[in-house]
Structure 1
């Protein structure tokens, strides 16, 4: 039986998780009347679907694609996924940054032109994704007016506001768009709680998914413990709707005694 069933028992439990997930997978994409896209940025994670979508978007926009990601907490999972899919030889995986792995996938597997690839290979967290991306673009003399961000959907909102924060004092004004490749959604089928049909394969383990989404809400809060202006000042103020706080508290109670999920939620 799915590990989700260890945490989630009722439809109300599932609805609470789905509400949090949808809130985090913030979507703000260019409209037909928007200026042309100058740059697509993909922040490192372990979900291949996000990088492939970033490639497709950059191809359609005929613009550069920047992969941001060093060797961090998602790298091992990314390597395992690429290895399981037999997409790259082992020599392209050993001691490689997430940006290097995705860059190789983009050019060798998804046929993205090498000359339009930019790699940022030092960052190990969301804040560094933004900071080191800005430094890399400055080194190249690039000042994008518009950029679309791709990230793990559970971190899409935080990535979006972090990039806005880092760029607020930039010499150029960059308009960022947020493009979650999909919105994680759970459903109950034959008494088993699982990912909804139609989502990509190779998603997070249930425990990892729960720990990710539950770890995001405290970070987004603008209080002494959060990442907002009244806390660590990593991000601007984010308004968390009351219904999301209610959903968070509901799921928080469900996870109090469950291993790694509990550890991430309560720290």
Structure 2
């Protein structure tokens, strides 16, 4: 499955993928007149544009920026992306956490003040991003009330509800906003299925993108196999609309013979 065309044959197939993607890339930014943003948090992933956007948001709000991420499943891909763009010297990449790599990019490449950077370098999954970030902020005496979250767009919704749960369980009041940076979308161009032309460069391989979005829907479910209260209890209840479930089943049937995608699906 080296290209989307290998499995996505019709416009209906593409529409189904796009519907799932838009649902996962929760866009819930502050409206005019909202309280000032106190903090921006970026959860580690391999898409450089998400971290760059987080820097821009923190600069605009004149607030601290947290990069959360240890060494996990996205770290190798992140390092490859930075190397491909020749953005940092090799010593800034070897055996470094995702937070350290993004921190170096922010201060050395994107002009973010180093004194306003907070690096959480231990987390290896979404739940730890939230829990470890909350613990670190408490240690530092940071009491943000209004927070914007940035993450890989395919994981934006789950990250949003995970952070809400972590703050609630810590008896901390905060208003979270969700910024997916962009909404992934496929299109047919000259007979080839590809990412929409307006999206940034450095995106996932087709295999990784499809495996990510297909892995998210089962995780969001509130059943015995999902991450909701009736399952593993990692997140609060999330309503997955019937339309999205139908789209998921449509794409799942298409991909059922592709091992790299099937292995990401919980049920």
Structure 1 and Structure 2 fold alike (TM over 0.5): yes
Verify the 8 A CA contact 1:2 1:193 in the aligned structure 2: no
Unaligned runs of 5+ in 1: none
> How far has the Cα of 1:131 moved from its partner?
0.3
> How far has the Cα of 1:170 moved from its partner?
2.6
SS across alignment from 2:157: helix
SS across alignment from 2:263: helix
* Per-residue CA distance 1:188-231 (angstroms, 9 max, x = gap): 11211000001010100001000000000000000000000100
The residue that corresponds to 1:187 in the other structure is 187
Q: Where does 1:177-256 land on structure 2 (aligned, <5 Å)?
A: 177-256=177-256
The residue that corresponds to 1:80 in the other structure is 80
The residue that corresponds to 1:43 in the other structure is 43
The alignment covers a number of residue pairs equal to: 267
SS across alignment from 1:265: coil
Q: Where does 1:92-111 land on structure 2 (aligned, <5 Å)?
A: 92-111=92-111
Distance 1:206 1:183 in 2: 15
**Structure 1 segments (4+ residues) deviating >4 Å:** none
> How far has the Cα of 1:172 moved from its partner?
2.9
SS across alignment from 2:264: helix
Verify the 8 A CA contact 1:2 1:192 in the aligned structure 2: no
Q: Where does 1:38-77 land on structure 2 (aligned, <5 Å)?
A: 38-77=38-77
The residue that corresponds to 2:172 in the other structure is 172
* Per-residue CA distance 1:61-94 (angstroms, 9 max, x = gap): 0000000000000000000000010000000000
* Per-residue CA distance 1:81-110 (angstroms, 9 max, x = gap): 000100000000000000000000000000
> How far has the Cα of 1:266 moved from its partner?
4.9
Verify the 8 A CA contact 2:225 2:266 in the aligned structure 1: no
> How far has the Cα of 1:2 moved from its partner?
6.1
Over the aligned positions, Cα root-mean-square deviation in angstroms equals 1.0
Distance 1:263 1:136 in 2: 34
Verify the 8 A CA contact 2:219 2:266 in the aligned structure 1: no
TM-score, length basis structure 1: 0.98
Distance 2:117 2:22 in 1: 30
Distance 2:83 2:175 in 1: 36
Distance 2:141 2:2 in 1: 49
Distance 1:73 1:10 in 2: 32
SS across alignment from 1:264: coil
The residue that corresponds to 2:154 in the other structure is 154
Unaligned runs of 5+ in 2: none
Distance 2:169 2:145 in 1: 14
Distance 1:171 1:190 in 2: 53
The residue that corresponds to 1:136 in the other structure is 136
> How far has the Cα of 1:169 moved from its partner?
2.7
